[in-house]
Amino acid sequence: MSAIEQKLAGLGLALPAPRSPVANYLGAKRSGALLLVSGLVSSVRGAVATEVTPEAAKRAARDTMLDLLALVKREIGDLDLVVSVEHVRGFVRSAPDFMAQPAIIDGASDLVVALWGEAGRHARTATGVSQLPYGAAVQLEMILRLRD
């Protein structure tokens, strides 16, 4: 088991079965030293604040990051090949008055910082939107740097 997966187990978490793209695109594309990871949506559905609580949405962001990591492992074979997390982008399906998108996306950011430490700290943008694929509460994508 890789060092990163051991850390994950130490947090009481495990990688889920990787999900496959739902349309004509790759789960991730290698671009030089970077891995561009496609957007995945949470299995939790609904607008945050009215249909999904902020607490549930933050957990959904963490779980969607686990889905992204499972996808990355399938693509590159071993999460220990990840040198750093460069960027995370999060879209939060927001009820009209919901304005705390950054706190939701922290569910994802906290996890990668716990796993990779300083190298897991990343640039980020968290944005509110009115709708997401399948009515999901959260959508996440990221850019990773891989070992040469």
Residues lying near a copy of itself in the complex (CB under 8 A) are found at 21-29, 31-34, 36-39, 84, 86-89, 91, 94, 96-103, 105-106, 109-110, 113, 121-135, 139, 141, 143, 145
Closest to a copy of itself by CB, 52 vs 132, is 132
Closest to a copy of itself by CB, 15 vs 126, is 126
Closest to a copy of itself by CB, 1 vs 123, is 123
Q: Which residues pair with 48 in a beta bridge?
A: 52, 94
CB of 49 to a copy of itself, least distance (A): 10
Report d(CA 90, CA 92) in Å as an integer.
Answer: 6
CB of 1 to a copy of itself, least distance (A): 26
**Is residue 75 within 8 Å of 125, Cβ to Cβ?**
no
Report the length, in residues, of the chain: 148
Closest to a copy of itself by CB, 1 vs 120, is 120
CB of 16 to a copy of itself, least distance (A): 20
CB of 134 to a copy of itself, least distance (A): 5
With b for 16 or more beta-carbon neighbours within 10 A and e for fewer, the 55-84 pattern comes to ebbbbbbbbbbbbbbbbbbebbeebebbeb
Which phi and psi (to 5°) does residue 19 adopt? -95, 155
